[in-house]
Structure 1
Amino acid sequence: MCGGINNSNGNFFGRQAFISLAGKRGEVKLGLQYSPFFLSLYETDPRGFSQIGSGLLNYANNVAGTGAFNSNGMSNTSPAFAGFQGSALLAFGGKAGDFQAGRQYSGSLRYQLGNFVINAALYSGNGGGTVSTPIPSTLDFSGRMVGALYRFANVTAKARFVNFKVAHSFNSNIYGFGLDWNATPALNVNGGAYYPTDRNGSANSSILGAIGVVYSLSTRTALYTQFAAVNNCGAMNSGLLMGYAINGLQGTTTGVTAGIRHNF
């Protein structure tokens, strides 16, 4: 069982709250959980879904919380077989008499050969249902992605392609690549670049780049600094930072963060 009490996304349990059963035949989860699509994006994101200058911004800018937080979900993840591992999820919208309202499903197929991993995933969600939060989690959209990573020595290289298609709105292609370097056991350097394009308007695109450095003082405390810049063309308004800066301004925007992080 997994869950945490917090006012997240307007819910008492707003992130994950599920019951799971795992064994030699895989794992089954019931309840509020991340979709295979969201988890595949996380694994192949060059910046590891950092709060500044990462693929998490592109995700939230297009579809908010849909696909990340799936209420009333049933999922199954298979054991690895000959390098392959599959995962599937079906989440019910919870509206009596209307099975399609708020219905969400997702699937992924992962293959690993040594240090090489390739992951493909899809997502389809209907609007409606009974889920009501400040951050929409049943937006009518479909997503597709394919990504790969390769680890050599202390460096991991990642690249991926994602498509977000929102009903009567966005249809975005996003290309991303980057490197993650564990320079020492305490020092990590990470950088990535993203190129979102609007399939509904060829003049709309962005170029987003970011680099971050994390120095671990202990297993729970670290110093960090990150720098990011984005250049928007046409009607694109990609931002730099989660929260109030997901949507940015046209033209070029730069930003830097620095601080200390302690995990409890």
Structure 2
Amino acid sequence: MKYDSASALPATCSTLRRQDTLLALATGFVALVTAATVILWAGGAGWILFPGAAVPYLVIGAVVMARIDRYHPHDRFGIANAVTLTRAVINCLLIGLLVEHHTLFTFWGERADWLFFAAAVVSLSLDGFDGAVARRQGLTSRFGARFDMEIDALLLMLLAVAAIALGKVGAWVLLIGTTYYLFMAARALVPRLRRDLPESMRRKAVCVLQGAVLIALVTPFITGIAATALALTALVALAWSFTVDIIWLMARRR
């Protein structure tokens, strides 16, 4: 039997799904606290690192629990969503590192930037595995697709903020991190923009470009004109991609 939404699943399946999801979220929280403790123990970070990383993770966890029953028509959380959750853990750790960046840089120097760089690379590298695993296991869902998209957007925003914090580029680089959220706000106001977009290699390539450029900006050796040129290139590509999608959506009849 095919279910169009998770709410159509039997009560037993719903219970199993929620239990599996809670276990995954708890495991992610333990991993986050452990990583933050190691950084704190290594020196250079203050206690603010913990709430800086834990609070956004708890918010993500609350959203996951609120949405998974409706949009994930399977009786388990799944490895694919676990991969995305791992990326969420890394991204939340990056938030904590951003909060404590000045203190970390004082103690570690450029090693603090390399720590941020390494974590961002791991998060970006895991992108793409979740979708492939979900398709292989037959566990694709609207929840999984949206979860992956939101974690991607969060990483881009964090990298844009990091580029500003490091003095690589001006505040205008936040346009790279906020374009997705502006588009989602427009969708809430314009019904035509709520339609599903077809798969697009152009969209995927531009997303990879944004991540690669922003990660390059947090490295110590990309500065000055090079940093500005890279950021502008990424922003122009992003604006072009969103413009193409918006035109396509607005031109389609019902």
Task: Give the TM bin, normalised by the shorter chain.
Answer: under 0.3
In the superposition, the TM-score normalised over structure 1's length comes to 0.27
Instruction: Compare the two structures and name the one with the higher helix fraction.
Output: 2
In the superposition, the TM-score normalised over structure 2's length comes to 0.28
